[in-house]
Amino acid sequence: MPIRAILLPTPDQPTLSNPDADGHPVRQNFGDTEGSLRIATRESPLALWQAHHVADLLAAQSIGSQIVPMVSSGDIDMRPIDGKRSVGVFTKRIQQALLDDEGDLAVHSMKDLPTEAHPDLQMIATPQRETVVDCLVSPGGGPLDSLPAGARIGTGSRRRAAQLLRVRPDLQILPIRGNVQTRLQKMHDGEYDAIVLAAAGLQRLQMNDLRRVELPLEMMLPAPGQGALAIEVRRNDQRAIDAVSQLNDACAAACTLAERTLLSQLHGGCLAPIAAHATVTSNSDSSQLRLIARVLSVDGTECLESAAECPIKLEWGQWQTVAIELGRQISSGLIERGARALIESGR
């Protein structure tokens, strides 16, 4: 199977972003554009897609932007990420770009963004969320139970590894690094029998023909914030705050806030074996915010799970308080049942 490559334009070249409503490509320029917002991003294909997506959302609000790509330490250092070097490995470089005035806003995959905020930065918007599910990708494209005993599965996530081992303890879970294209190439080179990837990334890269099976949420809950983007700005940059706040989706923001509050209260970090998924369901009379969370041992033999829901009004100014309280409620219950001991045992 050919692996797609996305080439970076030179600084003076325009690049094509997502098509508009009529199917026409939207052009962004990498050169200086007076008055436009500078979008700091990693330069992986997926990160660039995310930056261009935000540029298109800004353009829909008649706000100009330019892309400022840069390399993070996580893109260079291909050692397996463990509990000692996981926090912020993909986000610190573009956060520093804001602090150094190299950019006006940073676009992150929310699941990579540390829950502890930088005092000079503010996450100001969460656009509409993509699917949260994970996919099993293999040359044959079959489900998990079709893999042979002892199959080698590539993933860099302890959350994914623990949930896989919970249902298939015979599997060999092996670390894997690199962008989506690199991981796929490693699998096709025979290093792995299958790999696990987020469905959102595959959709964003338009890998529609890639053989894969979505893992059901009953088996594989997502990481807190999975499928969502986080847009961060300087706290004192009112111009960027006013522009970017127009991109916020209240439903996505409420759900991810509940998930990230839970993660923060558990002191888990982005690679701990913690899974969470919040949803909002509505009828003509009311809306309910529901959160389900799972904390596992690294080998998947122990699993704590909890769920709860509460009323929420997304148009009401205090929905943030509701989401935070729900995240705290679930985390407190899990802590009482021994969640922190499970998390610490895997560090």
Res 6: pLDDT: 30
Residues with Cβ within 8 Å of 70's Cβ and at least 6 positions away in sequence, in order, are 40, 41, 42, 43, 93, 94, 97, 102
Provide the token pair at 297: 């041992």
| CB count in 10 Å sphere of residue 329 | 18
Smallest CA-to-CA distance from 230 within 85, 81, 79, 118 is with 118
Decide: residue 137, CB within 10 A, 0-12 exposed, 13-18 middle, 19+ buried: buried
- Continuous segment of H or E residues that includes residue 322: helix 319-336
Low-confidence ranges of the chain (pLDDT < 70): 1-34, 72-90, 270-271
Res 303: pLDDT: 97
Spell out the domain ranges in the chain. Answer: 14-127+228-248, 134-214, 252-345
| CB count in 10 Å sphere of residue 290 | 17
Mark 267-278 as b/e (b = at least 16 C-beta within 10 Å). bbbbbbbbbbbb
Res 14: pLDDT: 34
Quick check: 199 and 158 in contact, CB under 8 A?
no
**Torsion sign across C-alpha atoms 140, 145, 146, 148:** positive
- Report pLDDT digits (tens) over 260-305: 999 999 998 766 899 999 999 998 889 999 999 999 999 999 999 9
Domains 134-214 and 252-345 share a fold: no
State the catalytic residues.
112
Res 153: pLDDT: 98
Torsion of CA 313, 317, 323, 326, to 10 degrees: -80
Residues with Cβ within 8 Å of 136's Cβ and at least 6 positions away in sequence, in order, are 143, 144, 194, 195, 196, 212, 213, 215
Give CA angle at 111 (213, 346), nearest 5°: 90
Res 272: pLDDT: 81
How many alpha carbons fall within 13 Å on the CB side of residue 190?
Answer: 0
- Report pLDDT digits (tens) over 78-133: 344 444 444 455 688 899 999 999 999 999 999 989 998 899 999 999 999 999 99
Residue type at 200 in one-letter notation? A
Does CATH place domain 252-345 in 3.40.1350.10? no
Res 142: pLDDT: 96
How many helices (H) and strands (E) the chain has is answered by 10, 15
CATH number attached to the domain at 134-214 = 3.40.190.10
Q: Which fold has domain 14-127+228-248?
A: D-Maltodextrin-Binding Protein; domain 2 (3.40.190)
